[in-house]
Amino acid sequence: MKFTIQRDYFLNQLNDTLKAISPRTTLPILTGIKIDATDKGIILTGSDSEISIEITIPENIDGEKIVDIEEKGSVVLPGRFFVDIVKKLPAKTVNLSTNDQFKTLITSGHSEFNVSGLDPDQYPLLPQVSEDDAIKLPIKVLKNIIAQTNFAVSTSETRPVLTGVNWLIQNNELICTATDSHRLALRKLKLEDAQIEDKNVIIPGKALSELNKIVSDSEEDINIFFASNQVLFKVGQINFISRLLEGNYPDTSRLFPENYETKLTIDNSEFYHAIDRASLLAREGGNNVIKLATDVDKLELSSTSPEIGTVKEDVTTEDVEGESLKISFNSKYMMDALKAIDNDEVQVEFFGTMRPFILKPKNDESVVQLILPIRTY
């Protein structure tokens, strides 16, 4: 194998490929990046057997020569080490060549590295995902869905299904749900394409988080394909494959009560910053608990730290319906929920002091955040 490539472009693609590589893998070869020089260009592959990323670097982009392939071939090079080498090379181009024993010569300017590569035939094959049945979403919408749900997945492995986001497709609607059993984030989206089969899958939160980092904001669409236990996200030159979580996601529909006891409309930013200030003492108390009390046209937030003191914040509300109420909640959960609602006005519905309450954008049911209150005595 022998090729010359633009260093900066190569480095960007290598960094994205590296996101799939875990140093904790049981297969040593998976700590490497597989490099294939082919007719299509250079193909980079990284995988930790849960997530796999495959990026194709074409020979030309917008009429500019990116890579010049003299000899086709493949090699697996130690991932982090190789990326560090490329990062520090002096010239604008990198030359790579391998011999029959996968010894790899990397040259750039006056620098020369000899690296022991591994046999690419030992690298596990990527999972195959059929590309027949696709959902197409604008990248901006996908990133938005991830931002509005992924923060609520569980970080505890005691219930593995809760470490992922449930994607349910039925009646041409996508419903994404994430919960760690203390809070829940829900996002609904009508799908344009009428031919989509119903699906019910759980995508690991970690995979969605890595995908979000790799996919840049653009006007492009992303294609999503599902296999029995894999999902493929395909955009531009990137293929991102993740294993799906096994198991049944709990039915969360019955968590949403019908009739509220108290409902208020409030300015998102003002509410967020008031909670942020009140949480300064809540964090010191070690439990993030903030108390909320509603009155006719205002809302009072308060928090206490035995060592430091107390804080009180009055927040004006646009309208309060129903009974006055006192409730306590985790300030971090509340701030995460408000951040996920990209609307200036937020409706909060309470169903009693010990029942979950919900937040949603005013006059919009597509995003719902549900939070369990905290018992305080």
Q: Half-sphere exposure of 100 toward its Cβ, with a 13 Å CA cutoff?
A: 0
> Span 63-86, mean pLDDT?
96
pLDDT at 150 exceeding the cut of 90 = yes
> Span 121-147, mean pLDDT?
89
**Residue 94 burial (CB < 10 Å; 0-12/13-18/19+)?**
buried
DSSP bridge partners of 330: 289
- From the candidate CATH numbers 3.40.718.10, 3.40.50.720, 3.70.10.10, 3.40.449.10, the one assigned to the domain spanning 256-371: 3.70.10.10
- What is the structure's pLDDT at 285? 62
- From the candidate CATH numbers 2.60.120.260, 1.10.3720.10, 3.10.150.10, 3.40.50.300, the one assigned to the domain spanning 2-122: 3.10.150.10
- Most confidently modeled of 20-34, 106-120, 215-229, 255-269? 106-120
Please tell me the pTM assigned to this model: 0.92
pLDDT class of 246 with cuts at 50, 70, 90: very high
CATH number for the domain whose boundaries are 134-252: 3.10.150.10
- What is the structure's pLDDT at 132? 76
Fold match, 2-122 / 256-371: no
Q: Where are the domains of the chain?
A: 2-122, 134-252, 256-371
Residues 177-223 pLDDT 10s: 999 999 999 999 998 876 778 899 999 999 999 999 999 888 889 99
- What is the structure's pLDDT at 286? 67
